[in-house]
Structure 1
């Protein structure tokens, strides 16, 4: 018999603290006689494997669960969304399955953006069980033409120095500007060695830009738009100052930083560069990548 919910639990999230919270969640589900299937992730990309299996199973019996409940953080959410999106690209008959997230991860950027607080997880469970409200929220999707790779991002996808800056921002969270600047100092050795690269940008298929000394391209989505930040290399003093402004949120008046907004964005980079999507590694590769916005149902 099909369970009402599929629960994806990532026990490694937030330095394995998520595992300790599962018993509390389980008690609430059992007290309310909720029928669910629990799957525990054991490794990176395991959530994708789990979803691939269950989507095939649900399609075969022609019945899908009420929702997928994620107990974890941004990485687990990205794996679940990516698995669903890729399967939908293969088979358009696969429906959007509403997602509910209990943000027990370390950073929980998606949950924070939509007002889901970790300490309110009991409220989220009760809402899911007794009065679910489904909202279509914006997420980003991308297609990498060279590797023929589809993917999803709910926070951002970046190339170049981006991974280090994203990690720095997620580590310091909402701490003081002094702490942010202190953390920035840890990047200085890397900034001395970093090489620039060429990037070609296209916005909404009609505006083209070229940068010869790029060190970072980051695409994020918000308010139904794609946002792109390109940072060019300058001398080390200017570069440190530029990144400091990025980290504290005052960065759009610098000549070395370029901000673009559009419905669709394309980026071509003809050199091997490191990338990340929602904090997860993409590896070192060439890029010919297209980005756009779509909607997905969430219970929040």
Structure 2
């Protein structure tokens, strides 16, 4: 089964678009002579279980059909299975979800034909994988991620967005609607961030810990992130007024957020975050738990299919240094 693909299909992705479009996706897979077996997820975290079982049966190539959340579950299945090293497994993605932020990093097409062409062409890129330890109901858990994690306001928005998705709501404005509703109620929290020997203790609005550059349905809160350098890019937005947030939303989308006077940019491989009271965490857009948190990174730990046109963005070091402090670990 070394050359066959196991396809994990999330039928709820894109508000049910995935299940409606599956016959079309299947036909295109057959058109390009991609040998595969598929399974539909039936409940939360089912993609984790399906992936573990697929690897145990000998599959070394996995396709996720869905969005960022589906991809995250597949990644976690790959890293908790014990059959082989995760580095021996290749992941392809056919995007059907709402945010699809991970796709943006790799210039992946959103139409099925071109997505499957990319899988057929099999251009592989080794990217970093994040690991976060967190708490839920007082119990410590861990979760792997490949795009970004958010703490504080980011996580509050994700929580509201996911609740709306659970109610069947979909659309491009879903994240913005959740952002505005969260902004009305959210309060900043005193948070302690530790990177190596450096500490930041302050009233904090939100923190983004990024491997890739995009989150929140197209926002660029970590605009200089490189997905294979073995480092997290960290953007900390300190206490800020709600009017100031609204006035600077455009900076979140155009990648200039680090120019704001209340924003700090850092880069490092090991991060600890504590707060009183506890604040929420999201990883790859999924709400998972709360502080205290401990982040670590696995460099170039997974092989992903990227588009033929993808080139790892290069940013002049002087520009990065102007906005980001790299922390020695």
Query: Residue 258 of structure 2 aligns to a residue in which SS?
Result: coil
Task: State how far apart, in whole Å, the 2-side matches of 1:256 and 1:28 are.
Answer: 48
Task: State how far apart, in whole Å, the 1-side matches of 2:143 and 2:105 are.
Answer: 21
Number of the residue aligned with 1:10: 10
Task: State how far apart, in whole Å, the 2-side matches of 1:219 and 1:156 are.
Answer: 6
C-alpha change, 1:87 and 1:271, in structure 2 (3 Å) is farther
Alpha-carbon offset, residue 276 of structure 1: 1.2
Structure 2 counterpart of 1:161, from 130, 153, 161: 153
Alpha-carbon offset, residue 230 of structure 1: 1.7
Task: State how far apart, in whole Å, the 2-side matches of 1:230 and 1:47 are.
Answer: 32
Cα-to-partner distance string for 1:124-180 (whole Å, 9 max, x where unaligned) = 424434x42322123323233874423222221111111355688xx996x9xxxx9
Task: State how far apart, in whole Å, the 2-side matches of 1:252 and 1:172 are.
Answer: 28
Number of the residue aligned with 1:69: 63
Structure 1 counterpart of 2:187, from 184, 191, 195: 195
Number of the residue aligned with 1:29: 29
Number of the residue aligned with 1:61: none
C-alpha change, 1:299 and 1:189, in structure 2 (3 Å) is closer
- Kindly indicate whether the alpha-carbon contact (under 8 Å) linking 1:232 and 1:256 is maintained by their aligned counterparts in 2: yes
Structure 2 counterpart of 1:263, from 269, 276, 296: 269
Cα-to-partner distance string for 1:75-102 (whole Å, 9 max, x where unaligned) = 10000001211335xx775653101111
Question: Is residue 294 from structure 1 mapped to residue 299 from structure 2 by the alignment?
Answer: yes
C-alpha change, 1:35 and 1:124, in structure 2 (3 Å) is same
Cα-to-partner distance string for 1:100-123 (whole Å, 9 max, x where unaligned) = 11112222111121011112x323
Question: Is residue 216 from structure 1 mapped to residue 211 from structure 2 by the alignment?
Answer: no
Greater helix proportion: 1
Task: State how far apart, in whole Å, the 1-side matches of 2:91 and 2:142 are.
Answer: 20
Task: State how far apart, in whole Å, the 2-side matches of 1:249 and 1:164 are.
Answer: 21
Q: Which residues of 2 match residues 1-300 of structure 1 at below 5 A?
A: 4-31=4-31, 34-55=34-55, 57-58=56-57, 64-87=58-81, 96-119=88-111, 121-129=112-120, 131-144=121-134, 147-164=139-156, 183=176, 187=179, 190-203=182-195, 205-211=196-202, 213-221=203-211, 222-223=225-226, 224=229, 225-243=231-249, 245-283=251-289, 285-295=290-300, 296-300=302-306
Query: Residue 85 of structure 1 aligns to a residue in which SS?
Result: helix
Unpaired stretches in structure 1, ≥5 consecutive residues: 59-63
Query: Residue 78 of structure 1 aligns to a residue in which SS?
Result: helix
- Kindly indicate whether the alpha-carbon contact (under 8 Å) linking 2:273 and 2:291 is maintained by their aligned counterparts in 1: no
Query: Residue 279 of structure 2 aligns to a residue in which SS?
Result: strand
Alpha-carbon offset, residue 269 of structure 1: 2.4
> RMSD value over aligned CA atoms?
3.1
C-alpha change, 1:68 and 1:235, in structure 2 (3 Å) is closer
Alpha-carbon offset, residue 281 of structure 1: 0.9
TM-score, structure 1 as length reference:
0.79
C-alpha change, 1:229 and 1:147, in structure 2 (3 Å) is farther
Unpaired stretches in structure 2, ≥5 consecutive residues: 162-169, 212-224, 307-329
Alpha-carbon offset, residue 39 of structure 1: 0.6
Task: State how far apart, in whole Å, the 1-side matches of 2:39 and 2:171 are.
Answer: 31
TM-score, structure 2 as length reference:
0.72
Q: Which has the larger radius of gyration?
A: 1
